[in-house]
Amino acid sequence: MPPSSTKQRIEGLQKEIEEHDYRYYVLDKPIISDEKYDKLFKELQQLEESNPQWASPHSPTQKVGGKPLDKFKKVKHSRPMLSLQNVYTSEEFTQVFSRWRDTLGASFAVVGEPKFDGLAVELVYENGFLAVASTRGDGETGEDVTENVKTIKSVPLRLRENFPKLLEVRGEIILMKEDFEALNKQRAKSGEPLFANPRNAAAGSIRQLDPKIAAQRKLDLFCHGIGSMTGVTATSHWELLKLFNVWGLRTHTLYQSLTSLSAIESFYKKVESQRDSLPYEIDGIVLKINSFKDQEELGFVARSPRWAIAYKFKAQEGITELHDVVFQVGRTGVITPVAVLKPVWVGGVEVKRAGLHNEDQVRELGLKIGDTVVVKRAGDVIPDVVSVIEDKRTGKEKKIVFPKHCPACHSHIVRNEGEAAHRCTNMACPARLAEGLKHFCSKRAMNIEGLGDKWIDLLQENKLITHFSSLYDLDKETVMTLERQGDKSAQKLIDAIARSKETTLDRFLFALGIPLVGERTAELLATHFGSLSAFMKASDEELTHVEEVGPTVSLRIRQFLSEPKNRDEIDRLIKKGVQPHWESHNQTGLGLLAGKTFVITGTLPSLSRDEAALLIRQNGGKVTNSVSKQTDFLVVGDDAGSKLQKAQALGVAQLDEAGLKKLISG
Ligand code: IVH
């Protein structure tokens, strides 16, 4: 491309991507797929990289986060960022409304909008370009968080059209509930402390010195007001919100123009009823007098405007006592501390229990039994204990003792590196049994036809099953005693259970539900070990030699195998007739390699040894470890050692990878 057209292409792409960002974030109406967008973005990134003279600090590619800072600079707001006064009841709000009417007369409009539970910021756009972004701070002076704000996808680095020469736009930085949960999940996994709520997570993210971290946090900005503005005039708040969109700034969509007290009360109720289903947290509505002239007339009191008010929803927090902490074993063996509380009403719901997530969180809260605690409800999920009121301590509070063994089955508990959770290692732990059994019976595991979730629940409810192996003790008569089970369907089930005894090693290993062992790993383990007994005897070292089995997976397998309850259960399954086989797997006599024995040595050009072995077995051949007179073929790769010599001495035929493939393709 000639230089001038490269420059044009870069500018064209910048504009095009900005347009798509606008359509996606502001209008909520994207017109291209994510793939197409990513392609444009990559092209721009590449062009800018190879032509740095045309890369602009305002390009949409600059949203990935720049260099880390040492500390934040201070920024003085040109006009103070005020706060809102709150009302909590209809009576209180009616008084505010009457005052408005007293000053403004009967006809005035109010804009109702959600009150976001986020972090207030101010963005300064000079000649349409984002110059500075700062936190509210004490209202007069905040911190310069420009680099982090630039990474927010919905924040344009330059405004679109007809924008003011100077614009100080104010809004709320938030983290969507879904992204908050994903972030905490990921932090729990890597053992980092959890954020108590989306607000704290948003605040923590925007105050990151490393903009690359902020860039990963999926923050959002909703604009809801201004500081100074020059070059454009607006006469009302409503008009301003519309102009924000024209300039490319995102606003919420829930706002409404309201002209009577009853309309405001209905708006309050409507938004409150939507609260739990909104993708972000709100804690009330904000009501603002629409006309700027009217706003001026009402003026300010202390640090708050008289023309706006926050009408908050009923408290979702309550104060109560912590009676006890119990430990629950979840479906996957994760052991979670749960707070048992003196019952308290929070936002119209009686709360008796609250989640404590994990040991780290309990320590971080500094929680003790007998403490007075603050509990918080958000949506329909189990409430959280958010803080301890230390002033209420009497000295009689007791330490919380974490169990050393699984509370359900007394097996060992492990806490793996990088994980905040403690887990029970017993696959047949009663607390995990139903879930484990569903997996054990499933199509891709033991494939017990007809034994679905309903049956498993029924069998467990009737205490007919205590282990996976109990399945093989069931008889038709016992099954028939269960609700509405006829002779025929009972027999069918018993037959299916019996059929499952003949299975393959990979299915069996997958069925056991060993943590991190999915279908593919199970197959690689089966291929590598060839038999259940060899797998059971596997040393640490040998496990790490299995393809794709890294230290984490091998650790989980070892933990699994070192739990005596798991070994006993495997023994029981075998005693009851379960026969996982592998060597004979696929030896239908029909494969092209049927009856042939192979040994593989050295490094093959494209297949790993395990893959080559799988290929041979899939075609009916047998793979062994050492060369003997029974060996039909030695598959040889680079750096072959003693096996090659032995094969040569015994006159065993040799193949390279291409030869093997040719043999298979017939
Ligand atoms: S307007 C002077 N609108 O609430 C009025 N604020 O206590 C300035 N907030 O610091 C604020 N949602 O962070 C306004 N729709 C909304 C809001 C909102 C949340 C926050 C804002 C402000 C605090 C005021």
Question: Which atom belonging to ligand 1 lies closest to the Cα atom of 82?
Answer: 2
| Digit-coded pLDDT (tens) for 284-308 | 999 999 999 999 999 998 789 999 9
Distance from residue 283's CA to the centre of ligand 1 (Å): 11
Percent of the chain beyond pLDDT 70? Answer: 96
Q: Between the ranges 49-53, 245-249, 316-320, 362-366, where is the mean pLDDT highest?
A: 245-249
Is 420 within 8 Å of 410 (Cβ atoms)? no
* CATH architecture assignment, domain 430-581: Orthogonal Bundle (1.10)
Nearest CA to ligand 1 atom 21: 120
Average pLDDT of 430-449? 89
The pLDDT value given to residue 593 = 85
327: which residues sit within 8 A by CB, 6+ positions away?
335, 336, 337, 338, 402, 403, 407
Q: Could you give the CA distance from residue 644 to residue 650 in angstroms, rounded to a whole number?
A: 10
Task: Answer whether residue 104 shows pLDDT above 90.
Answer: yes
The pLDDT value given to residue 340 = 95
The pLDDT value given to residue 518 = 85
In degrees and rounded to multiples of 5, residue 237 shows phi and psi of -65, -40
Q: Where are the domains of the chain?
A: 3-64, 86-312, 316-399, 430-581, 597-665
Question: Which range is least confidently modeled, 41-55, 61-75, 130-144, 591-605?
Answer: 61-75
> Which of 82, 110, 116, 173 to mutate to test ligand 1, by most ligand atoms within 8 A of the CB atom?
116
Pairing assessment for the beta strands 502-504 and 579-581 based on DSSP bridges: parallel
The pLDDT value given to residue 583 = 62
Q: Which residue has the higher pLDDT, 357 or 287?
A: 287
Task: Answer whether residue 622 shows pLDDT above 70.
Answer: yes
Distance from residue 170's CA to the centre of ligand 1 (Å): 9
CB atoms under 10 Å from CB of 186, counted, come to 11
Average pLDDT of 36-64? 89
The pLDDT value given to residue 630 = 86
Average pLDDT of 85-100? 94
For 597-665, the fitting CATH number among 3.40.50.10190, 3.10.129.10, 3.30.70.80, 3.30.2130.30 is 3.40.50.10190
Task: Answer whether residue 588 shows pLDDT above 50.
Answer: no
Nearest CA to ligand 1 atom 17: 115
Nearest CA to ligand 1 atom 23: 83
Residue type at position 519: E
Nearest CA to ligand 1 atom 15: 115
Whether the predicted model's global pTM rises above the 0.85 cut: no
Q: Could you give the CA distance from residue 607 to residue 610 in angstroms, rounded to a whole number?
A: 8
Q: Which residue has the higher pLDDT, 62 or 483?
A: 62
Split at pLDDT 50, 70, 90, the class of 168 is very high
The pLDDT value given to residue 503 = 93
Is 622 within 8 Å of 583 (Cβ atoms)? yes
Task: Answer whether residue 584 shows pLDDT above 60.
Answer: no
Distance from residue 540's CA to the centre of ligand 1 (Å): 58
How high does pLDDT run on average in the chain?
Answer: 89
Q: Is 115 helix (H, G, I), strand (E, B) or coil?
A: strand
The pLDDT value given to residue 585 = 45
Q: Which residue has the higher pLDDT, 450 or 63?
A: 450
Q: Give the class (CATH, top level) of 86-312.
A: alpha beta
The pLDDT value given to residue 331 = 66
* CATH architecture assignment, domain 316-399: Beta Barrel (2.40)
Which residues have C-beta atoms less than 6 Å from ligand 1?
82-84, 113, 115-116, 120, 136, 172, 224-225, 286, 305, 308, 310
Distance from residue 234's CA to the centre of ligand 1 (Å): 20
> Which of 136, 224, 288 to mutate to test ligand 1, by most ligand atoms within 8 A of the CB atom?
224
The dotted CATH code for 3-64 is 1.10.287.610
Distance from residue 310's CA to the centre of ligand 1 (Å): 8
The pLDDT value given to residue 587 = 42
Distance from residue 115's CA to the centre of ligand 1 (Å): 7
List the catalytic residues. Answer: 115
55: which residues sit within 8 A by CB, 6+ positions away?
10, 48, 49, 61
The pLDDT value given to residue 655 = 92
Task: Answer whether residue 382 shows pLDDT above 80.
Answer: no
| Digit-coded pLDDT (tens) for 208-266 | 888 888 888 889 999 999 999 999 889 999 999 999 999 999 999 899 999 999 999 99
Average pLDDT of 388-411? 92
Nearest CA to ligand 1 atom 3: 224
Question: Which range is least confidently modeled, 177-181, 314-318, 502-506?
Answer: 314-318
| Digit-coded pLDDT (tens) for 633-663 | 999 999 888 889 999 999 999 999 999 988 8
Average pLDDT of 410-436? 84
